[in-house]
Amino acid sequence: MAEGRQSLTQAVYEAAGSRPEPHDPAALLAAIVESSEDAILSKDLRGIITSWNGGAQRLFGYTGEEVIGKSITILIPEDRLSEEPAILARIHAGERVDHFETIRRRKDGTLLDISLTISPVRSADGRIVGASKVARDITERKRAAERQALLMREMHHRIKNLFALAGGLVTLAARTADSPAALARAVKERLIALARAHEMTLPSLHDGHSLTEPSTTLFRLLEGLVAPYRDADNARAVVAGHDVEVGARNLVNLALLFHEFVTNAAKYGALSVPEGGIAISTLLVDDTLHLTWAEKGGPLVTPPDGITGFGSRLEHSIKGALGATILREWRRDGLVIRLSIPISVLSAASG
């Protein structure tokens, strides 16, 4: 063992006051600690690191030689330094700190979420002489929880919008249907089209076992989303221009973005009235797709009053993920949206 490094094995021996005999339980315990996947370390009552196992080296990036004899604050971000005096105060009082979730800093400067369990260490005569720490990386767990929370919010938002869209479809169909049978037929056809557009954003089962990546073309995606609002001659929603492949990586984001456009048009814009319509055109210039979404025949539209809901935040997030630019023109005859997206983003496969 390199000079100047004290292993956890040595620390246990010193606490026991003797060297181990064969099959010594203290030696076995120390070996287990040394080989643990968790970061296990100890410090004195001044916060100076006194031992450091292999798990701590893997988690934080420092070797024992680099940190033993230094303050534990080497691992603590500046905005978390107030935690250490509070922890030491509890250790002085003989208290154990269980599953304390916080943030610590690795040698390379990156931050990670960890869960700490900190226990007082007592000498042979019962005096508290330091503390042992077990640190577990919970970064991925925290990220997974954040992703799940976002997914739940997105699901809530999308389900709410789907019900609103379904209600709007029934209202629109009722204005033109001349019999209950005609109304039922029109509503059924539009709900089926809406469901198909929704399915395009989901992976599918292949042979009942493995999931296959969703993929389509831009026009197919747009056609599926606007199909529920089309009339007999498709004049209410026209898609024209250059079609391009949409890869699996950004299909869901793109579908969600256009879903927001369609939802807003159905709630407030040209698709909220029977005489309204949308013209969608695309143009390829160099390595960028330019899409124009032009609404006409709807009610007078005005810019939002500055209050943004989840839909606006979702659009902002998706715009960043796609590397897209979105410009809106609030014209008297209808909203015009200009969307620009790099072709490389549109065609990207998963990975």
Q: Could you tell me the CATH number of the domain that includes residue 84?
A: 3.30.450.20
pLDDT at 200: 66
pLDDT in tens, 51-70: 999 999 999 999 999 999 99
pLDDT-wise least confident of 107-116, 251-260, 273-282, 290-299: 251-260
Establish if 2 belongs to a structural domain: no
Rounded to whole angstroms, the Cα distance separating 157 from 80 reads: 35
Tell whether 193 and 314 lie within a shared domain. yes
Best-predicted range by mean pLDDT (20-29, 190-199, 288-297)? 288-297
H or E element, residue 317: helix 310-322
Q: Is a pLDDT exceeding 60 seen at residue 7?
A: no
pLDDT at 2: 43
pLDDT-wise least confident of 59-63, 202-206, 240-244, 308-312: 202-206
Q: Which of 72, 41, 73, 71 is nearest to 57 (CA)?
A: 41
Q: Given pLDDT bands bounded at 50, 70 and 90, which one contains residue 3? A: very low
Q: Is a pLDDT exceeding 70 seen at residue 274?
A: yes
Domain that holds residue 161: 144-347
Average pLDDT of span 75-81: 95
Q: Are 8 and 57 in contact (CB under 8 A)?
A: no
Query: Which amino acid, one-letter code, is at 27?
Result: A
Establish if 167 belongs to a structural domain: yes
Q: Which string of DSSP letters, residue by residue, matches 11-49?
A: HHHHHHTSPPPTT-HHHHHHHHHHT-SSEEEEEETTSBE
What does pTM read for this prediction?
0.47
CA dist 312 → 168, 218, 264, 316, 318 (Å): 21, 22, 11, 6, 10
Q: What are phi and psi of 289, to 5 degrees?
A: -95, 130
Q: Is a pLDDT exceeding 60 seen at residue 212?
A: no
Tell whether 185 and 289 lie within a shared domain. yes
Tell whether 77 and 151 lie within a shared domain. no
Pick the last residue of a domain from 137, 163, 190.
137
Pick the last residue of a domain from 137, 153, 174.
137
pLDDT at 23: 60
Q: Are 318 and 259 in contact (CB under 8 A)?
A: no
pLDDT at 10: 53
Tell whether 108 and 148 lie within a shared domain. no
- For 244-273, letters b (16+ CB in 10 Å) and e give bebbbbbbbbbbbbbbbbbbbbbebbbbbe
Tell whether 127 and 162 lie within a shared domain. no
Q: Are 343 and 289 in contact (CB under 8 A)?
A: yes
Query: Which amino acid, one-letter code, is at 145?
Result: A
CATH of the domain at 195: 3.30.565.10
Tell whether 85 and 214 lie within a shared domain. no
H or E element, residue 282: strand 277-285
Q: How many CB atoms lie within 10 A of CB 27?
A: 17
75's torsion region: left (phi>0), alpha (psi -120 to 50) or beta? alpha
pLDDT-wise least confident of 27-31, 168-172, 181-185, 291-295: 27-31
H or E element, residue 236: none
Q: What is the mean pLDDT of the chain?
A: 82
Q: How many CB atoms lie within 10 A of CB 200?
A: 19
Tell whether 71 and 173 lie within a shared domain. no
Establish if 91 belongs to a structural domain: yes
Q: Is a pLDDT exceeding 80 seen at residue 74?
A: yes
Q: Given pLDDT bands bounded at 50, 70 and 90, which one contains residue 314? A: low
pLDDT at 59: 94
Tell whether 38 and 129 lie within a shared domain. yes
Per the structure, how many domains does the chain have? 2
Tell whether 100 and 173 lie within a shared domain. no
Tell whether 328 and 201 lie within a shared domain. yes
Establish if 3 belongs to a structural domain: no
Pick the last residue of a domain from 137, 171, 186.
137
